[in-house]
């Protein structure tokens, strides 16, 4: 799994002009899934996200987690995070899981994240043409890969 994690002041997902999810302070997580992803990847990334200390404390130091600040999370599936760009100018997405595999992994990840966060997590609609809007706070943007544990 690959994730681009953005600390946001607010974020929302709109599909066909209809608001699907919106949050104030929290995390917007763009999630790429590949066939090699297993339960261990889901658990590792979920725990890492809720405990990641990237929110400011009273001294302005990134020392607090999403749990500490009571923030919310939106997870948006994004197969393009597995783009291969080594050859030519047109990215290949061969490493990204097909929907029949990715949907169940995505749903399992959202469920695990809700369990670790202790409340509902916002989502987009898998495979839909989504309009994602965010106000990146910082900016703070972190790339995570469960295969490299980075």
Residue 129 located in a structural domain? yes
pTM: 0.95
What does the mean pLDDT of the chain come to? 96
Q: What is the mean pLDDT of residues 122-146?
A: 96
Q: Is the pLDDT of residue 4 over 80?
A: yes
Confidence category of residue 149, pLDDT binned at 50, 70, 90 = confident
CATH number, position 98: 3.50.80.10
Residue 68 located in a structural domain? yes
Per the structure, the count of domains in the chain is: 1
Residue-wise pLDDT for 37-93, tens only, equals 999 999 999 999 999 999 999 999 999 999 999 999 999 999 999 999 999 999 999
Q: Is the pLDDT of residue 23 over 70?
A: yes
Residues known to be catalytic: 78-80
Range of the domain at 103: 2-145
Beta strands in the chain (DSSP E): 2-15, 18-23, 26-32, 55-56, 62-64, 72-77, 122-123, 130-145
pLDDT of residue 67: 98
The region of weakest confidence among 48-52, 91-95, 110-114, 119-123 is: 91-95
Residue 28 located in a structural domain? yes
Residue 150 located in a structural domain? no
Q: Is the pLDDT of residue 150 over 80?
A: no
Q: Any idea how long the chain is?
A: 150
């Amino acid at each position: 799994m690959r994730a681009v994690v953005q600390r946001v002041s607010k974020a929302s997902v709109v599909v066909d002009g209809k608001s699907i999810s919106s949050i104030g302070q929290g995390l917007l997580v763009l999630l790429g899934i590949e066939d090699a992803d297993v339960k261990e990847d889901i658990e590792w990334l979920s725990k890492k996200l809720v405990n990641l200390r990237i929110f400011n404390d009273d001294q302005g130091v990134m020392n607090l987690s999403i749990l500490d600040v009571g923030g919310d999370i939106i997870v948006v599936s994004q197969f393009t995070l597995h783009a291969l760009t080594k050859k030519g100018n047109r990215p290949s997405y061969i490493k990204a899981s097909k929907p029949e595999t990715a949907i169940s992994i995505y749903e399992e990840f959202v469920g695990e994240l809700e369990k670790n966060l202790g409340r509902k997590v916002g989502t987009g609609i898998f495979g839909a043409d989504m309009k994602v809007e965010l106000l990146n706070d910082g900016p703070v943007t972190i790339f995570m890969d469960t295969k490299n544990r980075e």
